[in-house]
Amino acid sequence: MPYTTHLEGLDEWDRETQQVAALLLDLRTFWPSVVPLFIGWMRAQFDTQGAFMGDPWAPLSPAYAAWKAIKYPGKPILQAEGDLRQAASSPRRETTPQTLTLTIADPKAGYHQDGTGRMPARPLVFDISAPATVQSDIDKAAEDWLDDILRRLR
């Protein structure tokens, strides 16, 4: 003889779980939280001349440092005219439900990131070994985003 069991409230819980899962698979509402964090990290990277996300940038060659002191007196490394810092502080954004791409739209960025045969690398962005503060910032933003999702479903 067949029988069924019904638990009151289970249908509602299942519906809410499916809603949360759908929202978590589409991160486009999360990405706006990440952009200002990235901009802050870029500012810190320039303010510390690379030390925020790793080793400080290599010093300028003596000849270039002398020329720069005349042409751009007092300007720090990678900030002669300010274009690169500006590009890093206003990245171009492309999003999909699962990805955020922030592009530093300055042709010099790649040369400084990787270096050249004549110039050492002075990385603007980090790799997997980002500083703990970056991971902490992301964790906090993700927590706030999830709390907001759950609050809206209640």
Task: Give the pLDDT confidence score for residue 109 in this predicted structure.
Answer: 94
pTM: 0.82
Task: Give the pLDDT confidence score for residue 101 in this predicted structure.
Answer: 94
Q: Which residue bears the tokens 């001349």?
A: 49
> Mind listing the pLDDT tens digit of every residue in the chain (154 residues)?
566 655 455 566 677 777 778 778 889 999 999 999 999 999 999 999 999 988 899 999 999 999 999 999 999 999 999 999 999 999 999 999 999 999 999 999 999 999 999 999 999 987 656 778 888 999 999 999 989 888 887 7
Q: Which two tokens stand for residue 5?
A: 């069991």
Q: How many CA atoms lie within 13 A of 6 on its CB side?
A: 4
From the list 37, 60, 31, the residue with the least C-alpha distance to 45 is: 37
Residues 32-77: pLDDT tens digits?
A: 999 999 999 999 999 999 999 888 999 999 999 999 999 999 999 9
Task: Give the pLDDT confidence score for residue 129 in this predicted structure.
Answer: 64
From the list 32, 27, 29, the residue with the least C-alpha distance to 102 is: 32
Measure the CA–CA gap between 20 and 91, rounded to whole angstroms: 30
Measure the CA–CA gap between 86 and 79, rounded to whole angstroms: 9
What one-letter code names the amino acid at 76?
P
Measure the CA–CA gap between 79 and 85, rounded to whole angstroms: 7
Task: Give the pLDDT confidence score for residue 131 in this predicted structure.
Answer: 78
What are the angstrom distances between the C-alpha of 143 and each of 30, 64, 76, 135, 149? 10, 46, 36, 12, 10
Task: Give the pLDDT confidence score for residue 151 in this predicted structure.
Answer: 85
Segments making up each domain of the chain, as ranges = 25-153
From the list 71, 54, 56, the residue with the least C-alpha distance to 125 is: 54
Task: Give the pLDDT confidence score for residue 20 in this predicted structure.
Answer: 76
Under 8 Å CB-to-CB from 40, ≥6 apart: which residues? 137
Measure the CA–CA gap between 56 and 94, rounded to whole angstroms: 29
